[in-house]
Each structure stands twice: as C-alpha cells, then as structure tokens.
Amino acid sequence: MPEPIAPQDPETVAEAAVAPFEVVLTVSEPDAVGPLFRRLRTVPETTVTRRRSGPDEGELGVVETLQLLVPSAAVLTVAIRTLPAFIRSRRSSVTVELTRGDRSVTVTGENLDDPQKVIEAADRLLGRD
C-alpha cells in the first residue's frame, strides 16, 4: 500500500506556483537599453528592472543590463517575440543576449523572424532543448 502524501505548506505551494523565470538581457548598444526597457514593460505579466554594474577587469565604463521576470514559458516566448521588431527599429545594428543561468541566446533582427525560432530560443533558455 502506498504511503500517504504529506500535506504541503500552503505558502510554499503558492510561492512555487508564481515563481518567475529570471532572464538577464545584455544589449550591444548602451543607448538601446532604455527603449528596450520601456518596450518590455508593455508585455503583460512581466517585471523588468534596470541594473548597473561596474566593468569587468581591464574594461572601462558601466554595464547596464535588464532583468526580466516572467511567470511562464509562454510569457517568455511573447517577450522574445518583441525583440526582432525592436532591433530592426534601431538606427544602428543592435544585438540582445538573453541569459538564464548558464544558458544564453543571442537575438539579432535576422535570426528570429521565424516564429518557430522564437519558440526554440525560449526552449533553450528554459533547458528544454
């Protein structure tokens, strides 16, 4: 006979249900960080924050990244889907690198025009490749 399942703490269950995926976005052009921040804030169910950090050893300047918190893979896919149009709208060539843990995806205006590629990029970030 199987052992009974122990009841879970309701707070732990609630926290697990809304635990977001965290993705860090690094933009190749510093002047594009603000506009990308504003665009991503319009994606429903996302939380976006700007973060500044000092340069790596041997480098100059401040590095600004965006932290994107999303509640699900579907919302992450929607956020990634906004990137090619944003990149194409910029005057100069812009590349956005998305990093989640030890996985990263680089997005350019050319490599995510196909909706299937958007899903593949999200899957790589989520570890489902």
Beta bridge partners of 21: 70
- Summarised one tens digit per residue, pLDDT across range 9-61 is 444 334 444 457 899 999 988 899 999 999 999 999 999 999 987 666 776 66
d(CA 5, CA 7): 6
This prediction's pTM:
0.75
**pLDDT number for residue 65:** 93
**pLDDT number for residue 127:** 85
Domain ranges of the chain: 19-126
More confident residue, 119 or 37: 37
Which CATH number is correct for 19-126, 3.10.450, 3.30.160, 3.30.70, 2.30.30?
A: 3.30.70
Phi, psi torsion values for 124, nearest 5 degrees: -65, -40
pLDDT band at 129 (very low <50, low <70, confident <90, very high): low
